[in-house]
Structure 1
Amino acid sequence: GYKEITLVDDLGNVVVLTEPPERIVSLAPSNTEILFAVGAGDKVVGVTNVCDYPYNFTAWIEAGNMSSIGPYWQPAVEPIMTLDPDLVFASTASEEAAETLKNLGYNVLIVEPKTINGVLESILLVGRATGNHVEAGEFVNQIRDRIDAVINTVADASSTPKVYYEVWGPDIQSAGPGTFIDELITLAGGENIFHDAGTSFPMVSSETVIMKNPDVIIFPHMYMGTVSWGTYADIASRPGWDSITAIQNDNFHIIDASIISRSGPRLVDALETIAEMINPELFG
């Protein structure tokens, strides 16, 4: 039996559900990943055109097995309403649509966790909302175990390597405090060289990176469909970068941007991957 449940989202909005949702629309790739991870995927009737995990939804949409509501950033409400959803999972990228839908009487939860712990809370929220709280609880416990395993392993490291992550270039943007990237590098046993930046995604100078001299350099593989930085040779040949320890030691890594920037369950995959990049000798 389904009891009436009261849910509070990340912006403090309250939603009361009297029956389990049967027609769910997801307005963010991270929400789509969470919905499928907790076993509610069969209730999802609409996703964005950038939702690409755990399935190739473009193929599903072409085959008529899923509907696209359009973009992740500022989607229009009409395509969402057409699907007659009984629950919509939005994000701050779709806040305007969420507001409009709420005013029209739709159930809308805005899921926008800012920390790894927040993501685990979001998974539990989505589980409760969809009647999959048992699966969500088990899934979160598995993730916590994996996080603990990394933390316990890197506790044996002899040093804390300095890590540089480039979000975008050639006008360099890195990741600072309040980002998943910063939290992941720290948990993985590294020190983010821009941990003390004044903003979450600071624009930084090439000279500052050289001066901070990272031991490990990580670049995103794909970001919104493009590689902004070229090749490893392009990075190594940036003026003055040949003096950076990471470049001298060939300690250069590439990571899938969607696992390190999405507020979804694959952040634990990113954590394990980064921990191995930082301290390969600890992970056999």
Structure 2
Amino acid sequence: MADPRIVSLIPSATEIVAQLGLGQYLVGRSHECDFPAQVQALPVCTEPNFEPVGSSAEIHQRVSDLLQSALSIYKIKTDILAQLQPTHIVTQAQCEVCAVSLSEVEAAVAELTQVKAQIISLQPATLADVWDDMRRVAEQISPEKNEKEKLAEAAIAPLQARVQTCRQRFASLTHPPTVACIEWTDPLMGAGNWIPELVTLAGGRALFGEVGQHSDWLSWPDLLAANPDVIIVMPCGYDLTQTRQATQALCQNSSWPKLQAVQQGRVYLTDGNQYFNRPGPRLVDSLEILAEVLRPNLTQPRYKTVGWEPFVSAEITADSALP
């Protein structure tokens, strides 16, 4: 039996394949797949149909315009797929804004009659879904027929152990701080899907978003009325630098200084692109980041400056520089 040839069209799937020990079979990736570092040398099989730069509001408008015009947000490089001749393509049906859609992948494969690839579509909304996805990828791709289950469980077990450690240390603590996780800054969006679950495991109480449900838009009056103890900013696709810039714009709103999280210095920025936005193995890292932010007296800051940082507004920085 020939070795599999895997193309991953979403970063979380790439990380799942690597966690399962199947990374040597990857032959292509999406334009956003960048972890583990060695995958960056693989051919790129997708690209955005819009310019992904500018303010949060500008990016939101470009994406909205494409959706309203019934146009795809991303496109597949079918010529690259044809050259790679994959046996398996891993994609997603979770969010058409995050990556190429399942229907687009199916259409591309149908167009390339010489490509006989099995399409594996992931749609995780909770941690349990991620474990199930890992088992399914192992079952459908692993060339070792008699070792598929062992392969999956060996990859999942250490991740589950880390989750259990957080659950035992933090989830039962009294007086959990109320937490607003912001998935987009202009317009405001509260984080749903797996994020409220992670907040609970880290010893907090998520104010917006429901476990397993898509993220939803959030109004400033709602945020002000909820008045969270902690605000964690994790814009989809943004690294720490981009999140810092977006939050500087966010704090220009007149309601911002009225929030107790702002007044008490409990606003935190995260690298949502590398952690919180990717429903794969590193959601466990995301959980541990939340634990560092919410329970600093009980954790060592291993991810600080890499995965998260406290927010310091430009105004405060400028004021502190005065004699």
Give the TM-score normalised by structure 1.
0.80
Separation in structure 2 between the aligned mates of residue 37 and residue 124 of structure 1, nearest angstrom? 11
**Which digits, 9 at most, give the CA deviation of each residue in 1:47-98, with x for residues without a partner?**
111101111544x1xxxxx211123734243421221111111222331243
Aligned-partner residue type, residue 175 of structure 1: A
Contact 1:229 1:235 in 2 (8 A): no
Separation in structure 1 between the aligned mates of residue 29 and residue 228 of structure 2, nearest angstrom? 39
Which position in structure 1 is the counterpart of 2:270? Answer: 255
**Which digits, 9 at most, give the CA deviation of each residue in 1:193-219, with x for residues without a partner?**
11369x732222222211101111111
Separation in structure 2 between the aligned mates of residue 155 and residue 193 of structure 1, nearest angstrom? 16
Contact 1:169 1:229 in 2 (8 A): no
Alignment pair present for 1:244 and 2:259: yes
Deviation at 1:231, TM superposition (A): 6.5
Q: 1:46 aligns with which of 28, 38, 42?
A: 28
Distance 1:229 1:209, change over 3 A: farther
Which position in structure 1 is the counterpart of 2:15? Answer: 33
Alignment pair present for 1:137 and 2:153: yes
Which position in structure 2 is the counterpart of 1:15? Answer: none
Alignment pair present for 1:282 and 2:283: no
Q: 2:189 aligns with which of 146, 153, 173?
A: 173
Q: 2:103 aligns with which of 74, 96, 99?
A: 96
Which position in structure 2 is the counterpart of 1:14? Answer: none
Deviation at 1:20, TM superposition (A): 6.1
Correspondence 1:74-223 to 2 at 5 A = 74-92=75-93, 93-100=100-107, 101=109, 104=113, 105-128=116-139, 129-130=141-142, 131=144, 133=148, 134-176=150-192, 179-195=193-209, 200-220=214-234, 223=237
Separation in structure 2 between the aligned mates of residue 49 and residue 38 of structure 1, nearest angstrom? 22
Aligned-partner residue type, residue 98 of structure 1: V
Q: 2:43 aligns with which of 67, 84, 88?
A: 67
Separation in structure 2 between the aligned mates of residue 254 and residue 228 of structure 1, nearest angstrom? 6
Say which structure, 1 or 2, has more relative contact order (CA 8 Å, 6+ apart): 1
Distance 1:140 1:207, change over 3 A: same
Unpaired runs of 5+ in structure 2?
Answer: 49-73, 94-99, 301-323
| Greater Cα offset, 154-163 or 233-242 | 233-242
Separation in structure 1 between the aligned mates of residue 190 and residue 205 of structure 2, nearest angstrom? 14
Distance 1:37 1:20, change over 3 A: farther
Separation in structure 2 between the aligned mates of residue 95 and residue 246 of structure 1, nearest angstrom? 40
**Which digits, 9 at most, give the CA deviation of each residue in 1:105-156, with x for residues without a partner?**
4211112222111101111222222236334311201111100100110134
Contact 2:171 2:201 in 1 (8 A): no
Separation in structure 1 between the aligned mates of residue 21 and residue 91 of structure 2, nearest angstrom? 18
Aligned-partner residue type, residue 171 of structure 2: A
* Secondary structure at the counterpart of residue 118 of structure 1: helix
Distance 1:119 1:74, change over 3 A: farther
Distance 1:146 1:68, change over 3 A: same
Distance 1:201 1:141, change over 3 A: same
**Which digits, 9 at most, give the CA deviation of each residue in 1:198-252, with x for residues without a partner?**
x732222222211101111111277256826637665555313323221121111
